[in-house]
Chain A
């Protein structure tokens, strides 16, 4: 795989205030390729879903670290990895089913993964119980800059 043309990494605690920080950080970082606004909105939404999952499910009973990594490759290919060292997911297939949620009482719609999948080109989830979860999101964006 080719080297990214730009990359960044931030680590932050799993506080719900940081859901906003995460999507604003990604949006700020990606501004150098000047992506179309609707595509940027798609990416921000997917990031928000993945980070919220880490906060609500991964670290449901504690505050832990969330790592957010963004890489940009040639032709506007954006790679985002969000990982936590939380409780992990026992059944990823089940967790990714639309409308499945372990927390209906909190008005969680159970659509986090469905949103990620419909807004991104690729979604990959790896998880190990008691070790943590990593979500990789990929999308090719049409840069408004010629050489982006």
Chain B
């Protein structure tokens, strides 16, 4: 499991992205405002997680997104392309009504799968606790 948090701009919490990799799934929880300024960092973080974990499925969770303009559409389209090239799929999850309205302008609904909710694979046992014993 990896977890990256990126707080943009000195002292001002504007956005962050929480990444969880589990099994063949990477889930990115986007938090805060998505605009041209913040989208850059978000997509870098997501692409790093995708490259490192090679998932079959990328979930973008929008439940904590407070604002989004067409930069967010660009972010979704870009990640759709990335997943398509890798033979995986993209899921856009938990979009608040306002975000859905912005998405609708793009027709991205025809490409990516939208989901009201999702479930992550169970944590693997060895991932939870790893005890190393030095002396027998």
Q: Which A residues lie at the B interface, using CB under 8 A?
A: 16-17, 19-20, 23, 38, 41, 44-45, 48-49, 52, 55-56, 106-109, 111-112, 114-115, 118
Contact = CB atoms under 8 A, between A and B. Distances in A.
Contacts of A108: 70-71, 74
Given A19-B37, A20-B37, A41-B67, 4 more contacts: A19-B36, A45-B102, A48-B67, A49-B69
A41 B65 CA distance: 13
Given A114-B105, A115-B102, A115-B105, A52 B74 contact: no
B69 A48 contact: yes
B37 A41 contact: no
A15 to B, nearest CB: 8
Contacts of B74: 106-109, 111
A118 B105 contact: yes
7 tightest A-B contacts by CB? A16-B37, A107-B78, A107-B74, A109-B74, A111-B70, A48-B69, A109-B73
A52 B71 contact: yes
Contacts of A41: 67, 98
B14 interface: yes
16 contacts: A17-B37, A19-B37, A20-B37, A45-B102, A48-B67, A48-B69, A49-B70, A52-B35, A52-B36, A107-B74, A108-B71, A109-B77, A111-B74, A111-B105, A114-B70, A115-B105
A107 B73 CA distance: 9
B58 to A, nearest CB: 15
Contacts of A55: 36
B112 interface: no
B39 A109 contact: no
A48 B35 contact: yes
B98 A38 contact: yes
Most buried by B among A41, A108, A109, A114: A109
A56 B71 CA distance: 12
B56 to A, nearest CB: 22
Interface string B92-111: 00000010001001100000
Contacts of A45: 67-69, 102
Contacts of B33: 20
A110 B39 CA distance: 15
Contacts of A112: 69-70
B128 interface: no
B77 A107 contact: yes
Nearest to B15: A20
Contacts of A115: 69-70, 102, 105
